[in-house]
Amino acid sequence: MDEAHRAVKLIKNPSVWENMALMCVKTRRLDVAEVCLGQMGFARGAAAVRLARAEAPDEPDVALAAVAIQLGLLSDAEKLYAGRPDLLNKLYQAAGCWDRALELASSSDRIHLKTTHHAFAKHLEDQGNVAAAIDHFEMADTHRAEVLKRWRYLFVYACVSD
């Protein structure tokens, strides 16, 4: 990787840097991956990697998973997050894999089980599936605040529209 980095240092084509960043994930070279993201002009991706590195300085796999996510390599990020069920749960939620997120939360990330149910309920509500959303608000034990707030809104809306 070092020789490849030296060879393409003068190349300005972003696709070359992207391919090299993909290889950096496979070879676990975080230092070169950061340079590649910067040369690609992908400032948000480079910032996400720096933030992940700052939050978990003793866990290079977490920062490497951030690179994989920025490059769209979700399966590689899933493998890198194998030791961190909390981050894997967030990855599944962001990817829309709610079944996996709920299964992971109930099996090995119990501390985030209620927040996962709450986030899924909000997702279901946005999709218009109110009945299932209410069930998950109840599983999250946030139904007293969330469901009542929404029912008041629906009641007021129904009264105004009549």
Q: Are residues 129 and 101 in the same domain?
A: yes
Q: Are residues 109 and 62 in the same domain?
A: no
Q: Are residues 3 and 66 in the same domain?
A: yes
Q: Are residues 25 and 99 in the same domain?
A: no
What HEC string does 9-55 produce?
CCCCCHHHHHHHHHHHHHHCCHHHHHHHHHHCCCHHHHHHHHHHHHH
Pick the residue with more confidence: 96 or 155?
96
Report the percentage of the chain scoring pLDDT > 70: 88
Q: What is the mean pLDDT of residues 89-117?
A: 95
How confident is the model at residue 155, as a pLDDT? 47
Pick the residue with more confidence: 151 or 37?
37
pTM above 0.75, yes or no: yes
